[in-house]
Chains A and B, each alone.
Chain A
């Protein structure tokens, strides 16, 4: 699994952190997404896909 986030598209909603908080975080100053790991363990796949699905800015792409 490989994750790519687009910080220019991100609208700082934090939905991804709610879905997978060991993979995504937000910058303290402006809430923009930060990727904690771009290749998380396979058991997180469902949560990561959920994060990509609920991101309101389509800023997360997951390649299996």
Chain B
């Protein structure tokens, strides 16, 4: 009963670790597109970006060795035959297994017609983060002559907000451009988005919201800024495109699996006979919510992987989590349990907005759908009980 895991990151490694904890002793192979040992992504927009330190692996090498698995790194899967449970890789390997677990995550979106230009970045991988921080940390290098480079962040979601905060913390001049009315408006609504806007404004990030970017401007192969719809130009030495990301499923074309905004799975995270998915790439049936759901957050990767491992190890388990994510922007720490909505009614349940330390409840149709903490992580977790099924 061998297992082949495609994608060697948070969800892939957690699948491997959980299988071994279930005393599953059959052969396990991990296939990863990136050359690096599995590493953690959340620090890439936070500490890692702000320092010159190396990025540690998710687990020490000795721990990985003890898991007794075969790692094929730097070799992406290019095709899957679901009926035969066979994967073909870029280097020409053909791998088959009794169980295949898909944990390929996401691929960042780009601007329409985005040309490859020096100084333009996306942020998903360690290589992306290393390239971006080299540019952010550059002082008076080449044509970058200010104290820090001028940075335009395109995107007003979690990643855009975090990158803007980290770049500003490094002394860069930062403009954040996005189509929404506020940073994270669509996810967190007016009250919290408004407070986040104040945090960025007070720290000196220039917010240009409600504005779409038309394209990039360039001089001789290097980016010189962005052009807003309407024609205005913002000068920049560094542009970060943080427009969200799409499930990495191109390699599943023709596989026989159903792919629609992710790998579509049942309540057990099963995509087909002996085929499973976990993490950012998986869109599974959440029985509690009675709908398909796909989450892009760190705890989901580990928790969903643990459920897949239990199912492979013969302990049928449905996956019905309360979603959770956190984001750190400057010194503000936000924690969210549940699924907030921009049009939910928001009330402060503990602490106070004036002190910038509170827990808020998000209500829809009279029911609490999410709790959000602003600099109050422990207390926020205690409010999670309001989200548990009665």
CB-based contact A13/B299 at 8 Å: yes
Is A11 among interface residues, defined by CB-CB distance under 8 A?
A: yes
Q: Report A1-25 CB contacts with B as 1/0, cut-off 8 Å.
A: 0000000000111110110000000
Is B333 among interface residues, defined by CB-CB distance under 8 A?
A: yes
Cα-based distance from A27 to B375 in the complex (angstroms): 12
Interface 9-mer from B128-136, B252-260, B376-384: B376-384
CB-based contact A54/B378 at 8 Å: no
Q: Chain B residues near A13 (CB, 8 Å)?
A: 299, 324, 326, 335, 377, 381
Q: Chain A residues near B377 (CB, 8 Å)?
A: 12-14, 26, 30-31
- For A28, the closest partner residue in chain B by CB is B378
CB-based contact B378/A31 at 8 Å: yes
Q: Total contacts A to B, CB within 8 angstroms?
A: 59
State how many angstroms separate the Cβ of B372 from the closest Cβ of chain A.
14
Cα-based distance from A13 to B328 in the complex (angstroms): 12
- For B328, the closest partner residue in chain A by CB is A11
Cα-based distance from A49 to B212 in the complex (angstroms): 47
State how many angstroms separate the Cβ of B38 from the closest Cβ of chain A.
10
Is B18 among interface residues, defined by CB-CB distance under 8 A?
A: yes
- For B378, the closest partner residue in chain A by CB is A26
Is B45 among interface residues, defined by CB-CB distance under 8 A?
A: no
State how many angstroms separate the Cβ of B307 from the closest Cβ of chain A.
11
CB-based contact A53/B381 at 8 Å: no
Q: Chain B residues near A44 (CB, 8 Å)?
A: none
- SS of B interface (majority): helix
Q: Chain B residues near A28 (CB, 8 Å)?
A: 378-379
Find the residue from B326, B328, B333, B379 having the highest chain A CB count within 10 A: B326
State how many angstroms separate the Cβ of A47 from the closest Cβ of chain B.
12
Q: Chain B residues near A18 (CB, 8 Å)?
A: 381, 384
Cα-based distance from A26 to B58 in the complex (angstroms): 23
Cα-based distance from A49 to B303 in the complex (angstroms): 13
- For B357, the closest partner residue in chain A by CB is A29
Is B370 among interface residues, defined by CB-CB distance under 8 A?
A: no
Q: Report A24-64 CB contacts with B as 1/0, cut-off 8 Å.
A: 00111011000000000000000001000110111000000
CB-based contact A56/B298 at 8 Å: yes
Question: Could you list 19 further interchain pairs (A-B, Cβ under 8 angstroms) beyond the known A30-B377, A56-B299, A57-B42?
Answer: A11-B326, A11-B328, A12-B326, A12-B333, A13-B299, A13-B326, A13-B377, A14-B377, A15-B324, A27-B378, A30-B333, A31-B333, A31-B335, A31-B381, A53-B21, A53-B302, A53-B306, A56-B42, A58-B58
A to B CB contacts below 8 Å, 22 in the list: A11-B328, A12-B326, A12-B335, A12-B377, A13-B324, A14-B380, A15-B299, A15-B324, A17-B381, A26-B377, A26-B381, A28-B379, A30-B333, A31-B335, A31-B378, A31-B380, A53-B14, A53-B21, A53-B306, A54-B302, A54-B303, A54-B306
